[in-house]
Amino acid sequence: MNIQRLLPGLTGIAFLVVIPVLPVPPFWITVLNNIGLASLVTIGLVLLTGVGGLTSFGQAAFCGFGAYTTAVLATNYGISPWLTLPLSVIVGGVVAMPLGLITVRLSGHFLPLGTIAWGLSLYYLFGKIDMLGRYDGITGIPPIELAGYRFLSDGAIYYLIWFFVIAVAIGARNLLDSRTGRGIRALRGGGQAAEAFGVNIVRAKLIVFVFAAVVAALSGWLYAHMQRNVNPTPFGLSMGIEYLLMAVVGGSGHVWGAIFGSGLVIILKELLQRFLPSLIGTTTNFEMIVFGILLVVILQLARDGLWPFILKILPKRPPKPIPTSNQKLPKRTLALAGSPLIKVEKARKAFGGLVAVNDVSFEVPAGRIVGLIGPNGAGKSTTFNLITGIASLTSGSVFYQGQRLSGDSPRHIARHGIARTFQHAKILPDMSVLENVALGAHLRGSAGVFKSFLHVERDEEATLLAEAAHQLERVGLGEYANRPAGDLALGQIRILEIARALAADPTVLLLDEPAAGLRHGEKQELANLLKKLREEGVAVLLVEHDMGFVMGLVDHLVVLDFGTLIAEGKPAEVRKHPAVIAAYLGGAA
């Protein structure tokens, strides 16, 4: 472990530990407790909203499930809070599953609307149930006890709250910094590239949804035993909005920003509640107006919240070393050169009245490079999408080694080792070049949420990252590994996509205009790489406009025009074909 990397965190923790020992007024300890409780919810929102892109106004309701579960069990049945802790958290998670399954399928503004709907209805549910004391709530909740010590005072429960905050924050960071986390972080860009490499997008969304609910329930459990009574008010929609505000203010994509945002909003609220009435002379909830303005200003001036500014002030952490690993990932055995891998049979795709791909049939054998050419709009990219499952066939079929692929989802198709690049590059600009490539190796690892949360999958993770580093070296981008992918030039991004596809240990490589934007020397290198892959037995389907590049490289050429296959064969023959000359090559032939 690199001490220099840990220093800021350790300083922060040391600071938190000494605060109650210092002569701080008790009022501020209470405020810090509230910040800690809110931070738990907000860290969940960072993963859900900031990283996953799923806006939720309803998180306070999950606090309610945590709080009421322990309140009922501890008061009515005398169950120890330590036993109700897992139960509270489980209830939060179990409620989140069906809600999540419905909610994450909503898109656009329906998603936040959906969260408002259940946020509201759960609040009223808490207030209508007799067992939960209706709107009066439940009182007389016992304090938490540990080895005879009762966490009664604010100064005592302070340590418990912040222990959980730090643990959850570290776990959340671990989770993001893992195989599962890369899938979650890929949600923001729409997730199409991640899906093409085997990430289960719906599952990734559900993971963050349940995670956010579980940590909110944990916050509720702590709240119930700190406050010693619960009623529906803190679990309503307005608290849900406040939590979202905290996440946005802090910096919706940053775990530590969640704590910062919670602190800022809660302290501001305390100060406003104290000083606004004496300034304005009324006791109305003016702080909500101030918050509203604050939110608008922050969204205008700092879309990523305030944490990025704090990061600029903090001393820069040294970059992570590129992991090395002695273990090698298993490699697929490639089929005999010349044996058919992909077979496209009368594939047809209609977009309304437009037939983009018109009953096209061709094969891509192992150890061969097949060129797919044709003018713009000929249907080349759509053909790629039909093979990889991103678009569904209107009719016809696609086979892999005789097995029908049509109808399978992109992530299932990826399992056969069918890897692709996109004509319009789909990378995650904020993620490092190395991690972008590691996304390609998703199916070669297996560690899930729990292992990632605890960081006990480090061996596997190192192997995946080492493989990504190897592929980056192979395509000549090694020196950029730690840079954000968004820093790369367009040509380099295309090469990055090839490295990502190679990290999947492909049997078939589908490259959509990989040489666009490359300089002459870079094209030469790319051609050499593709020849080497061919020698190894990989099948390549190549869409490219640079005829010099295509002609010198491919074994077989397929020509599309207006969705129809007009010629195919050896490049030298095809270029002489009258239909091809007429439709496409023209003077270039």
> Dihedral of the CA atoms 468, 473, 476, 481 (nearest 10)?
50
> Dihedral of the CA atoms 423, 465, 202, 496 (nearest 10)?
-10
CB 376 → Mg ion: shortest distance, Å? 7
In terms of phi and psi (left: phi > 0; alpha: psi -120 to 50; beta: otherwise), the region of 241 is alpha
Of 211 and 384, which has the nearer Cβ to Mg ion?
Answer: 384
Binding mask 308-347 for ligand ADP (x = CB under 6 A): ----------------------------------------
Contact between 382 and ligand ADP per CB under 6 A: yes
Strand arrangement of the beta sheet that strand 354-365 belongs to: 354-365, 340-351, 395-400, 403-404
Contact between 250 and ligand ADP per CB under 6 A: no
The residues binding Mg ion (CB under 5 A) are: 380-381, 423
CB 356 → ligand ADP: shortest distance, Å? 3
Whether the Cβ atoms of residue 547 and residue 588 lie closer than 8 Å to each other = yes
Neighbours of 534 (CB within 10 A): 20
Give the chain's radius of gyration (CA, Å): 28
- Residues 480-499 touching ligand ADP, rule: CB under 6 A, are none
Residue corresponding to tokens 């609910």: 213
Of 464 and 557, which has the nearer Cβ to ligand ADP?
Answer: 557
Of 174 and 382, which has the nearer Cβ to ligand ADP?
Answer: 382
Contact between 380 and ligand ADP per CB under 6 A: yes
- 566 three-state secondary structure: strand
CB 389 → ligand ADP: shortest distance, Å? 14
How many residues contact ligand ADP, by CB under 6 A? 11
CB 367 → ligand ADP: shortest distance, Å? 25
Whether the Cβ atoms of residue 354 and residue 386 lie closer than 8 Å to each other = no
CB 281 → ligand ADP: shortest distance, Å? 60
Of 100 and 371, which has the nearer Cβ to Mg ion?
Answer: 371
Residue 374 binding: pick among Mg ion, ligand ADP, none (C-beta 5-8 Å cut-off by kind): ligand ADP
Instruction: Calculate ∠ Cα 244-34-100, nearest 5°.
Output: 40
* Residue range at the interface with ligand ADP (CB under 6 A); choices 28-36, 139-147, 372-380, 520-528: 372-380
Q: Would you call 46 exposed, middle or buried from its count of C-beta atoms within 10 A (0-12, 13-18, 19+)?
A: buried
In the chain the first and final C-alpha atoms are separated, in Å, by 60
What CA–CA distance (Å, rounded) separates 156 from 159? 6
What CA–CA distance (Å, rounded) separates 62 from 69? 11
CB 425 → ligand ADP: shortest distance, Å? 14
Largest CA distance in the chain: 92
Question: Which amino acid is it at 280?
Answer: I
CB 559 → ligand ADP: shortest distance, Å? 11
Q: Pick the binder of ligand ADP from 58, 251, 379, 389 (CB under 6 A).
A: 379
- Residues 342-361 touching ligand ADP, rule: CB under 6 A, are 351, 354, 356
Q: Pick the binder of ligand ADP from 234, 250, 374, 440 (CB under 6 A).
A: 374
Residue corresponding to tokens 């509203």: 292
Residue corresponding to tokens 């939720």: 56
Of 340 and 377, which has the nearer Cβ to ligand ADP?
Answer: 377
Q: Pick the binder of ligand ADP from 331, 353, 376, 587 (CB under 6 A).
A: 376
CB 391 → ligand ADP: shortest distance, Å? 7
Binding site for ligand ADP (CB under 6 A): 351, 354, 356, 374, 376-382
